[in-house]
Structure 1
Amino acid sequence: MNRNKWKSKITINNLFKKALIIKKIRNFFSSINVLEVDTPTLSHFSSNDTYLESFNTIYKSLNNISIKKLFLVTSPEYHMKRLLACGSGPIYQICHSFRNGEYGNNHNPEFSMLEWYRPNYNMHDLIYEVKKFIKKIINFKKVDFISYKKIFLRYLNINPLTIKKNTLYKIILNQNLEHLIQKNYNKNDLLEILFTVSIQPYLSEFELLFIYFFPKEQALLAKINDEDSRVADRFEVFFKGIELANGFCELTNHNEQKKRFKLNNNRRIKLGLPKLKIDYLFLKALSSKNMPFCSGVALGLDRLMMIYFNFKNIQDVITFPFDRC
């Protein structure tokens, strides 16, 4: 056993530096009049994402009459959108989020998230603001923008929007990646494998990179693009190959969102995953007349710190990571 395992992983000196970065983040949002909010860590509903697994716990009343299954949030997204529907205006939050099964150089089951929402912003407006925000924390020299379609054409010479599933399958076999395929994987599952394994390693050649217009099937909560119905107004941000943020113009049509949740549950069943209870409180918020047109982004705060300190492992910026908590 490591005798120093009781100690904080991050050094005290870096703890002070980290606190200064948090202060700088708060000053940034204060300067542009974005309100800091606080939402629950426990929820009656889990994430509806196909591949995110929530931690769960049981609430018991003192007399054990009332027993309720609760979930640790994978993101504050649903609660923050409920605040938007209440008329909050632009909001941000720094919080802990939880994702089961995620642990490694860039992952910890409990991690820090920075998430913010901008009413009346489209995807491009938010991309500009995210770039401006990152510049306040990390000094980069160059930023690149490329569509999901063009990144596939660049590295694999295929169009992800028109390619057939059988062709994708052959490419995966040729790259000896068949061990990553599970039964009932669809076209977009195969695209995600190729993006992660065959494209993302090359993104380290870029300093700051925005990839936008992801396939609509990979955007459960995002608005479909007005000019190309095959893609959603969704973007991801990478810094020297490390995924840093995920954002999009929000889907605010509650009927469409409910339909997507149901389709997602059908997809989970085909993959042998449990069916998830739909968050009707979130859908109620979307149906509110006060729910604004808006865009939002979730940024991994620990990863931002990791990049700032030039560390290779996210555990080095967390006080007590998974192996020490």
Structure 2
Amino acid sequence: MRKTHQWEPSASLQSLSKRAEILSRIRAYFAEQNVLEVETPAISPSTVTDVHLEALTTLHTNPLSIVKTHLFLQTSPEFYMKRLLCAGFPSIYQISKCFRDDEVGRYHNPEFTLLEWYRLGFSMEQLIDDVDNILRLTLDTPICEKTSYSELFEEHLNIDIINAPDEQIVATCIEYGYENLVPEDFEAKLSVSERDNLLQLLFCEKIEFKIGKSRPIAVTHFPASQASLAKIDPMNPRLSLRFEFYYQGIELANGFEELSNSEEQKARFQVDNDVRARQGKAIKPIDEKFLSALDNGLPHCAGVALGIDRLIMLALDKKHISEVISFDFDSL
């Protein structure tokens, strides 16, 4: 007898109906705010250089040409959306499918839905309030708490992330049983990327699950070395204007007051690729069209990406991402 394959969707009709209702509410919010909905490509000849992100790839074979084009599925619509802003578009948002060559698990699926938006003239603080409005609208949460990355390390681990010697960071990691993740040749000095990796390890394993229990929390001012595409804090050049939102143990959003200097952005991309080379990872092609757009001029703005699937998990009190998407990775 022929084997019957599992074909049913991973989420129920009731869950997907509520998902549609939440998405409608989000779209209505942005319509009221005069934020324009846009669509941008899901494929690109370049991708992010971020050391901690890997993009899925595809190959375009043109039947009218002998040239085959290697393309990346987008990990986020960020670069294309900023190109729109550089071309004179107003504040914009997008609800899009994104892709990452990442783990499959409770909060992760290689294909996922991202809500990303950019507000012209907004500061980091104003965008944090905007994210809070979305959470209150969809999750009926109380007003969010605000704290900094540095304050959380002081409170939970007694570490001054700016001034603590590398030995203290390493000793704390060893104390918690992460000696296998400490660089083998460590004596007294970590590279910037090694220090960041250990700080993020401690943050994820020893801090993240303790915060945002009863109400959402916005964690601000990540180290400048973790700025990604964020501006450096003018009040403290060792910190960045980057924030993340957490609620009930889940990372929901990552946002910036956006960097607009193309030379600095290119330098950051090159640093990422240098780290990739040292770690034996593939060098990523830099998005030159994005840098050209920044040369033309990115208006002062702040932008954020929020995981829709995780948001809906919280809204529907679901324990696994498969329960809020029609077909998860295992049901393909």
Query: TM-score, normalization: structure 1?
Result: 0.96
How much has 1:5 moved relative to structure 2?
A: 2.7
Tell me if structure 2 keeps the 8 A contact 1:94–1:114. Answer: yes
**CA distance, structure 1, for counterparts of residue 62 and residue 91 of structure 2:** 37
Tell me which residue corresponds to 1:231: 239
Which amino acid counterpart does residue 203 of structure 1 have in structure 2? Answer: I
Tell me which residue corresponds to 2:103: 102
Tell me which residue corresponds to 2:301: 294
**CA distance, structure 1, for counterparts of residue 294 and residue 4 of structure 2:** 51
Q: Which moved more, 1:108-117 or 1:262-271?
A: 262-271
**CA distance, structure 2, for counterparts of residue 9 and residue 3 of structure 1:** 16
What are the Cα deviations for residues 224-268 of structure 1, in whole angstroms up to 9, with x where unaligned?
Answer: 001000110000000111000000100000011011111111111
SS of 1:186's partner is helix
Q: 1:25 to 1:4 in 2, by over 3 A?
A: farther
**CA distance, structure 2, for counterparts of residue 182 and residue 286 of structure 1:** 37
User: Identity over the aligned pairs, expressed in percent?
Assistant: 38
Tell me which residue corresponds to 1:153: 154
Which amino acid counterpart does residue 302 of structure 2 have in structure 1? Answer: S
Structure 2 unaligned residues grouped into runs of 5+ = 185-190
Tell me which residue corresponds to 1:143: 144
Tell me which residue corresponds to 1:17: 18
Tell me if structure 1 keeps the 8 A contact 2:107–2:320. Answer: yes
Tell me if structure 2 keeps the 8 A contact 1:165–1:186. Answer: no
Tell me which residue corresponds to 2:310: 303
What are the Cα deviations for residues 174-209 of structure 1, in whole angstroms up to 9, with x where unaligned?
Answer: 110123446675111110110011111212534211
**CA distance, structure 2, for counterparts of residue 271 and residue 216 of structure 1:** 21
Which amino acid counterpart does residue 90 of structure 1 have in structure 2? Answer: S
SS of 1:265's partner is helix
**CA distance, structure 1, for counterparts of residue 143 and residue 258 of structure 2:** 28
Which amino acid counterpart does residue 304 of structure 1 have in structure 2? Answer: L
How much has 1:164 moved relative to structure 2?
A: 2.0
1:236-247 equivalence runs, <5 A: 236-247=244-255
**CA distance, structure 2, for counterparts of residue 262 and residue 89 of structure 1:** 30
Query: Is 2:258 the partner of 1:257?
Result: no
**CA distance, structure 2, for counterparts of residue 239 and residue 204 of structure 1:** 5
Tell me which residue corresponds to 2:62: 61
How much has 1:63 moved relative to structure 2?
A: 4.3
Which amino acid counterpart does residue 48 of structure 1 have in structure 2? Answer: T
**CA distance, structure 2, for counterparts of residue 145 and residue 314 of structure 1:** 27
What are the Cα deviations for residues 49-80 of structure 1, in whole angstroms up to 9, with x where unaligned?
Answer: 11100000111110451111000000000000
1:36-115 equivalence runs, <5 A: 36-115=37-116
What are the Cα deviations for residues 101-158 of structure 1, in whole angstroms up to 9, with x where unaligned?
Answer: 2211111100000000011111011011111121111111352111100001111011
**CA distance, structure 2, for counterparts of residue 239 and residue 219 of structure 1:** 22
Q: 1:206 to 1:188 in 2, by over 3 A?
A: farther
Query: Is 2:167 the partner of 1:166?
Result: yes
Structure 1 unaligned residues grouped into runs of 5+ = none
Tell me which residue corresponds to 1:276: 284
How much has 1:4 moved relative to structure 2?
A: 7.1
**CA distance, structure 1, for counterparts of residue 72 and residue 248 of structure 2:** 33
SS of 2:245's partner is strand
Tell me if structure 2 keeps the 8 A contact 1:144–1:206. Answer: no
SS of 2:219's partner is strand
- Where does structure 1 differ by over 6 angstroms across 4 or more consecutive aligned residues? none
Which amino acid counterpart does residue 306 of structure 2 have in structure 1? Answer: L
**CA distance, structure 1, for counterparts of residue 195 and residue 118 of structure 2:** 31
